[in-house]
Structure 1
Amino acid sequence: MILQSIYTEKNNCQDCYKCVRRCPVKAIKIEDHSASIITELCINCGYCTTICPAGAKKIRNDVAAAKNLFNSGQKVIAAIAPAWVSEFSEHKASSFISALKQLGFHEVSEVALGAEMVSESVNQYLNQQETGLHISSCCPTVVSLIQKYYPEHIDKVVPIMSPMLAHAAYLRSLQTEPIKIVFIGPCIAKKNEAEEHEGLVDVSITFQELSEWLEKESAYFEESETEELFYPNKAADGSLYPVDGGMINSLKSQITTVDLDFMSFSGRNSVKDVLENLEGIETDKLCFLELLSCNGGCVNGPGCSENNSIAKKRANIIRTHQQTSAQERMLKNAIEISLDYEKSQVNIPKHSGEDILESLKSIGKLSSKDELNCSGCGYENCRDFAEALLEGKAESSMCVSYMRKVAQNKASVLLQKMPYAVVMCDDKLKIIESNLQFAEMLGEETCELFNDIPGLEGAHLKAVFPPYKLFQNAIKLDLEKFDKDIRIEGKLYHLSIFTIQKHKIICGILRNLQSPEVRNEEVIKRTKEVILENLSTVQQVAFLLGENAAKTETMLNTIVQSYEDSENV
């Protein structure tokens, strides 16, 4: 069973939609305001784990599975990806090998050996071809991308194992007894690749997982008395594979075909652009494409823990290669590393124009003018988002403009239904919104203006509301709440001003104290206040009041009850 290498910690997901926005194949589903991975659509590039601001996207940790291999009674070999040079650049090879052996590994071997085997096989394969376009099979994310989304190009992938699989096959060919192999590298997709091809790599962990493991076990990087060496020998040209163009550099030293073009592209967007426009590449001669999902190559994989720049990582790889490339190459056992790649095309639903229009209407996009294409939802445009809604991958609440309209409509309805006069204004005292009761309170002229300008939006409070300075002072002094009885047009009102946004937006509610409903309400409220104040006084001077306090409370409660009864009638 193949498990998903990436998962979401729902409690940490913060509705930012950054993973949706950056996922190259939109393999993200938003459900109950949380983003989850759609396994069948995912290509395991791991980009979402690197850009999630809340750290909600996690890489499956397989260290426990690796440790369990030590209990098998078989030798466990660590197959270390060539990018280790940039990840653990401060350590020499011998001290690095020593630290891994402290964890329990019997031997440590460079996957760069497998890369050299791949170069030899690709060289032989290309020399047998006369024309055509051919794509490297080294990056499992690229292979998965082609299998699922560009199946028409699957026959262009060279039928050769990746360096990880080739290296594992080579290690097993050297042993007379069964062994266990743990791949350690910068790539998340290797976890799935190992599970898809059983019998080669038992467990795959990332550099980040290894670093945490070494720290937890207190393994130390020190030179041992007997220098530790890579098994069965050190690699040479294969050490260049982690950087873009590294494979091509290795091939060029071997290739014998004269009329052959080499091109290298790295980064998800660049790779997708290449695959979508392969028809524009001439195929009347041989052409080989090295495609790597991670920008800059494997040194920038999602499983890395080192935060150095790509340039520095690349420099470490090249410098190490220069020191080892002159070494005499040792012959490896001749083993078969061919591998045919099959299509695993995903089902991408096709939606009719009518369905898309209905989906757009459900989020308030009634015409093309309403389609803002702001990408706030994570999709490139409103139509892509509408299709995602139809496929159950998205929720209406992801549309910022739609939710803003919903909020505004709810606020407007609430404002207009309130029995009191309400007005909101900004720090310049320009009215943001008001209700009809506010306009009616200020007279016929303001009502006419309200009909022409709904909500009096944009009007200056000073022009329509005489005691505007109360609002001016409230916003200047940043008063959380301010209450005052005022007179307007000969009527007495109770004004409550409160802050919505500090020094930016305030709201005022005015109640006509002369209306029966408000009058009864105010009497009840203020009588209750008297009761509370009186009880407080009673507690302080109870010995003076005696039975008189109880009579006062009873009398006041009777008044409150009578007003409440009359109001209910």
Structure 2
Amino acid sequence: MKFLNFSEANCKNCYKCLRHCPVKAIKIKNGQAKIVEDRCIGCGQCLVVCPQDARNIKSDLKEVKNAIKEGKKVIASIAPSFAGAFDINDGGQIVTALKKLGFSAVEETAIGAEIVAKLYKEYIEEKEYENIITTSCPSANYLIEKYYPSLVKYMMPVVSPMVAHGKVIKYNYGMDSYVVFIGPCTAKKIEAANFQHKDIVNAVLTFEELSEWFKEENLKINELKPQSFDAEAQKRGKEFPIGGGVLNSFLDKEINKKYHFISVDGIKESMEIFESLSSGNLKKVCLEVNVCTGSCIGGPVMPNGELDFFRRLIKVKEYVKGKDNYTEIENEYKNQIHRLNFTKRFFDKSLNKNKANEDEIKKILREMGKYEKSDELNCGACGYNTCREKAQAVYEGMAEMEMCLPHMRSKAESLNHVIVENSPNIIILVDRELKIKEFNPTAERIFNVKADNIIGKPISILIDDTKFNEVKKNKKSILKEKVSYSLYGVVLMQNIIYLEKQGVILAIMVDITAEEANKKELIKVKENTLDAAQSVIEKQMRVAQEIASLLGETTAETKMILTKLKKLTMGETGDIK
């Protein structure tokens, strides 16, 4: 997803994001979580709960800085919840800080909220409706369009305060002005790109991004001299981020007679009331729905470590309290309501999911080790509420078999058991007190004792524990040490391994008795062979000496004959015998 997603390097198969995603818009593939845009409502809660901080939120910060450098008219529209986002003493300090960053003008988004409140009131007064749902929260709007499309008909056809204010800014400062919305909401990044009002809001910065920018510039906001907003809203618009603030902005005695007014915040609560509305259990209700718990003050991208929720709430209330009571919208904005188009259409964006039949669900359940109804633990560890829901997700390609943690644990334990039970090597596990915890069948055979009779007892009653104590003391493993246990008639190559995290010592011993016996036999054969070779050599030496002696005598005789023959040939006189 181009606005919200997870960084691949940090995802750790914990499924916490999926557990917190109310619409299960997260796909797990090869253990990596990925947000599926078509299913996402942009609430950002999955990124908030990620324990690895593997979140990746599209940032417009570079574009905003470039716009300022290029000398554009960069106008800030800041949400009124800023009062609870930053540690400031006066609302005007945020204006000073933003202008130091290079913004040409700073206005309150609450101006747009006042326009929206006025349009809501006109909409309700216009005629009687079966039910009405406010549309200031973009995540709530996406939730309805994608998962409760039958309720689209109840949605007020009015833009959000962000877009309303963006239109006003473009009207007042010119279409070439560069509008930057600053707030606590991730869904605003998605909303700004909507085709119905594209290029109205040019960039969206979160309070978190702004806080980091302040740190980069070494700006200490609470030490700055306050400045006035270039355009400031009345109390009615400023109350929008507080739960119930949207409804309170347009209620009066006449309107109160028409509907039951309900304010809801939180995803779970929002879905519950949508379910009730979809089933026809509610009639003549006007709903204010905010997906974030605590409304906008509980937004997902508030600065980290600044203030807790309740301190933020109090600071926003104090900021609003100091403003004027409800008044009619300023004349200039009255005129703009009729000059500008603040309508918005909402659509049925429901998903076409492939529904698995019962046989397919059962097949997937069996592959996850769920053969009986009792096997379906519905533990939720994988992120899905039930095993059958998980099976459906597997069928859709949104989940993997391996995500069933109880099944994988059982499978791993079973595999480990098979390995230990069938290992040809001795496997012994002892605790910090050197008491035996595990004792496999090979160990039973070699040491001629049953595991049931030895587990829980000191290793010293079986074998010398000197090396075990050494490993425990030094916290260093001993590897490939040959030891003879004459009591058991075996020679073992033992590895005593220190496992600090688990608090145990693992001994893996290889029986090399046969090999050692073969070595002795081989040495005897070698000795016999050497003796035989020595005897042969000695015999050969004697024969050689005898041959040499005989050769010596015959050589002398031959020399004498040859000498006589030479004299005869040369004609020398003498007797020839």
Q: With structure 1 as the length reference, what TM-score do the two structures score?
A: 0.80
Q: For 2:497 and 2:406, how far apart are their aligned partners in 1? A: 27
CA offsets 1:396-443 (integer angstroms, 9 cap, x no match):
333322332333343334334433333445568886554433333345
Distance 1:368 1:102, change over 3 A: same
Partner residue in 2 for 1:334: 337
* Residue 223 of structure 2 corresponds to residue 212 of structure 1: no
Partner residue in 2 for 1:380: 385
Distance 1:427 1:56, change over 3 A: same
Q: Map 1:517-532 onto structure 2 (within 5 A).
A: 517=515, 519-520=517-518
* Residue 290 of structure 2 corresponds to residue 287 of structure 1: no
Q: Map 1:206-245 onto structure 2 (within 5 A).
A: 206-219=206-219, 221=221, 228-245=227-244
Distance 1:213 1:486, change over 3 A: same
- Aligned letter for 2:48? T
Q: For 1:89 and 1:523, how far apart are their aligned partners in 2? A: 85
Kept in 2, the 8 Å contact 1:415–1:434? The answer is: no
Partner residue in 2 for 1:316: 315
Q: Map 1:488-567 onto structure 2 (within 5 A).
A: 488-491=487-490, 496-500=495-499, 504-515=503-514, 517=515, 519-520=517-518
Q: For 1:223 and 1:501, how far apart are their aligned partners in 2? A: 51
CA offsets 1:169-198 (integer angstroms, 9 cap, x no match):
222333456422111111110011010121
SS in 1 for 2:229: coil
Partner residue in 2 for 1:362: 367
Partner residue in 2 for 1:560: none
CA offsets 1:295-331 (integer angstroms, 9 cap, x no match):
1010111121064222222222222222112386522
Q: Which moved more, 1:32-41 or 1:371-380?
A: 371-380
Q: For 1:364 and 1:27, how far apart are their aligned partners in 2? A: 25
Distance 1:215 1:464, change over 3 A: closer
Q: Per-residue deviation at 1:42?
A: 1.2
Distance 1:238 1:429, change over 3 A: same
SS in 2 for 1:247: helix
Distance 1:425 1:403, change over 3 A: farther
Distance 1:93 1:512, change over 3 A: closer
Partner residue of 1:156 out of 145, 154, 157: 154
- Aligned letter for 1:361? R
* Residue 202 of structure 2 corresponds to residue 202 of structure 1: yes
- Aligned letter for 2:210? L
CA radius of gyration, larger in: 2
- Aligned letter for 2:257? V
Distance 1:402 1:428, change over 3 A: farther
Partner residue of 1:47 out of 45, 48, 56: 45
Distance 1:392 1:222, change over 3 A: closer
Q: Per-residue deviation at 1:292?
A: 0.5
Distance 1:468 1:238, change over 3 A: farther
Partner residue in 2 for 1:562: none
Distance 1:502 1:122, change over 3 A: closer
Kept in 2, the 8 Å contact 1:98–1:222? The answer is: no
Q: Which moved more, 1:91-100 or 1:9-18?
A: 91-100
Q: For 1:359 and 1:11, how far apart are their aligned partners in 2? A: 29
Q: For 2:276 and 2:317, how far apart are their aligned partners in 1? A: 31
SS in 2 for 1:324: coil
Partner residue of 1:141 out of 139, 146, 151: 139
Q: Which runs of 5+ in 2 are unaligned?
A: 523-529, 531-577
Distance 1:207 1:358, change over 3 A: same
Q: For 2:200 and 2:502, how far apart are their aligned partners in 1? A: 66
Partner residue in 1 for 2:462: 467
Q: For 1:63 and 1:458, how far apart are their aligned partners in 2? A: 69
Partner residue of 2:13 out of 15, 18, 21: 15
Partner residue in 2 for 1:403: 408
Kept in 2, the 8 Å contact 1:433–1:457? The answer is: no
Partner residue in 2 for 1:65: 63
Q: For 1:433 and 1:363, how far apart are their aligned partners in 2? A: 29
Q: Map 1:258-277 onto structure 2 (within 5 A).
A: 258-277=257-276
Q: With structure 2 as the length reference, what TM-score do the two structures score?
A: 0.79
Q: Per-residue deviation at 1:395?
A: 2.8
- Aligned letter for 2:123? Y
Q: For 2:6 and 2:279, how far apart are their aligned partners in 1? A: 39
Distance 1:255 1:324, change over 3 A: farther
SS in 2 for 1:349: coil
Kept in 2, the 8 Å contact 1:43–1:141? The answer is: yes
Partner residue in 2 for 1:168: 166
Distance 1:274 1:472, change over 3 A: farther
Partner residue in 2 for 1:30: 28
SS in 2 for 1:265: strand
Q: Map 1:440-459 onto structure 2 (within 5 A).
A: 440-443=445-448, 456=451
Distance 1:43 1:303, change over 3 A: same
- Aligned letter for 1:202? N
- Aligned letter for 1:13? C
Distance 1:396 1:370, change over 3 A: same
CA offsets 1:202-234 (integer angstroms, 9 cap, x no match):
111111111222332345648999x74323344
Kept in 2, the 8 Å contact 1:385–1:394? The answer is: yes
Q: Per-residue deviation at 1:200?
A: 1.6
Partner residue in 2 for 1:394: 399
CA RMSD in angstroms comes to: 3.3
CA offsets 1:493-539 (integer angstroms, 9 cap, x no match):
56554344567444334444532x35458999xxxxxxxxxxxxxxx
Distance 1:255 1:31, change over 3 A: farther
- Aligned letter for 2:111? L
* Residue 244 of structure 2 corresponds to residue 249 of structure 1: no
Q: For 1:93 and 1:320, how far apart are their aligned partners in 2? A: 7
Distance 1:376 1:249, change over 3 A: same
Q: Per-residue deviation at 1:473?
A: 6.0
- Aligned letter for 1:260? Y
Partner residue in 2 for 1:97: 95
Q: For 2:159 and 2:272, how far apart are their aligned partners in 1? A: 24
Distance 1:221 1:502, change over 3 A: closer
- Aligned letter for 1:149? Y
